[in-house]
Structure 1
Amino acid sequence: MNIVQNAKTRYSTKAFNPTKKLSEEHVQAVKDLIRMSPSSVNSQPWHFIVASTEEGKERIAKATQGGFEFNTRKILDASHVVVFAAKTSIDEQYLLELLESETQAGRFDNEESKQGMHGGRSFFVNMHRFDLKDANHWMEKQVYLNVGTLLLGASSLGLDAVPIEGFNAKVLDEEFGLREQGYTSAVIVPLGYRSEDDFNAALPKSRWDESQVFTEC
């Protein structure tokens, strides 16, 4: 199955089979997909919680109480659950640490190219920090790029998944001390294998017609 077919056949899983678990190879592949996701100017403003134990999933599911109970079973029955968290601030120290990470990876041939990268990235980051004043929104956009990478990648691995925004971020942040670490939860993605009772698996996909969503010139 090619990647286009994966896009056509993947769907948001509404019920997982709690008896089927991801292999270690699939778990590592999921981590690789997440870590290698693109982000604007390679900013990588994120952190992830990966829960595979019943205790870990129950901690995440606490955030579905009080109005989002329809998502509880998805989290508890999935094999693994990933919490996507976005940074709450981005500063010069972070940019320098990121630059050093890239240096260690061998991305720069010389000091000039290194400083060129730092200057270019700082321009865009500071534009969002000081001029547009939307740095938090901008960083969350990068997290959503990552979610898209995981959803399509998971489908290519034969895994089922669903992105969840229906949860109490304050509860989840407090459960894992995310805000104290400089992050806030944005999306929860349970992964595993669909249940035979998943009504959404048999429904046809529905998308706008090409004529409505494309302008070709």
Structure 2
Amino acid sequence: MDIVATAKQRYTAKAYDTNRRIPDEVMQQIYEVIRNSPSSVNSQPWHFIVASTPEGKARLAKGVQGGYSFNESKVRDASHVILFCTRVDTEGGHLDRLLEQEDRDGRFADEAAKAGTAKGRLHFTNLHRYTLKDLPQWYEKQTYIALANAMTAAAAVGVDSTPMEGIDVAALDTELGLHEKGLSSLVLLALGYHAESDFNAKLPKSRLPQEQVFTFL
């Protein structure tokens, strides 16, 4: 794979072909890339809600009404739409679930290693919870890593994407009962194949030159 070519071909789709759907086997690849995204101290503070039916997309479209209606057509016309949600705290046994999954996956040589991982994760979690007082924002940063991975993975398999921060978080949280699960909406990602009318597909990518954005020591 030419990773530079993949990065250059990825762009933000503005209109989707409603007649084309992403094959399930392709979506499963994208899901696995998202699931395997890195996060600080393997905190995995995320949950992903996928809509691929008209009914499911209509529910997510409740978050792109009013002042956010410019995003509604992308949500309704895309093949799949993923709502990236983030945890707002560690309640509900999340840290315990992480530790037990790591244990099942064979990451610990012994109980001391398991205890050390638990202690280290709790240290950084409490640092952001009590000292820096930015735990939800720290968790959001981790979830954005998963978003970036999703867009790159989609481009690698020939799928177009549109990240959307222009959403009504409160409306989506209410529609999906996210607060009861310790979660909150963060960003939507539409996935599909661009329509011929998508003006952005024909425009050249524009980025500042390397000498302006890199400093080599």
TM-score (norm 1): 0.97
Matched residue type, 1:9: Q
Tell me the distance in 2 between the aligned counterparts of 1:180 and 1:112.
35
- In the alignment, is residue 141 of structure 1 matched against residue 141 of structure 2? yes
Give the match for residue 49 of structure 1: 49
Give the match for residue 174 of structure 1: 174
Give the match for residue 93 of structure 2: 93
Give the match for residue 8 of structure 1: 8
Tell me the distance in 2 between the aligned counterparts of 1:30 and 1:2.
18
Tell me the distance in 2 between the aligned counterparts of 1:36 and 1:94.
17
- In the alignment, is residue 158 of structure 1 matched against residue 158 of structure 2? yes
Give the match for residue 186 of structure 1: 186
Tell me the distance in 2 between the aligned counterparts of 1:27 and 1:8.
21
* Contact 2:161 2:189 (8 Å CA) reproduced: yes
Give the match for residue 27 of structure 2: 27
- Compute the displacement of 1:94 (Å): 2.1
SS in 2 for 1:188: strand
Tell me the distance in 2 between the aligned counterparts of 1:160 and 1:47.
22
Q: Deviation digits for residues 12-62 of structure 1, max 9, x if unmatched? A: 000000100011101211211111111111100011100010000011011
* Contact 2:84 2:143 (8 Å CA) reproduced: yes
SS in 2 for 1:187: strand
Tell me the distance in 2 between the aligned counterparts of 1:206 and 1:142.
26
Tell me the distance in 2 between the aligned counterparts of 1:132 and 1:91.
18
Tell me the distance in 1 between the aligned counterparts of 2:17 and 2:44.
32
TM-score (norm 2): 0.97
Residues 37 and 77 (structure 1 numbering): CA distance in 2 closer, same or farther, change over 3 Å?
A: same
Identity of aligned residues (%): 48
Give the match for residue 58 of structure 1: 58
Tell me the distance in 2 between the aligned counterparts of 1:121 and 1:212.
37
Give the match for residue 131 of structure 1: 131
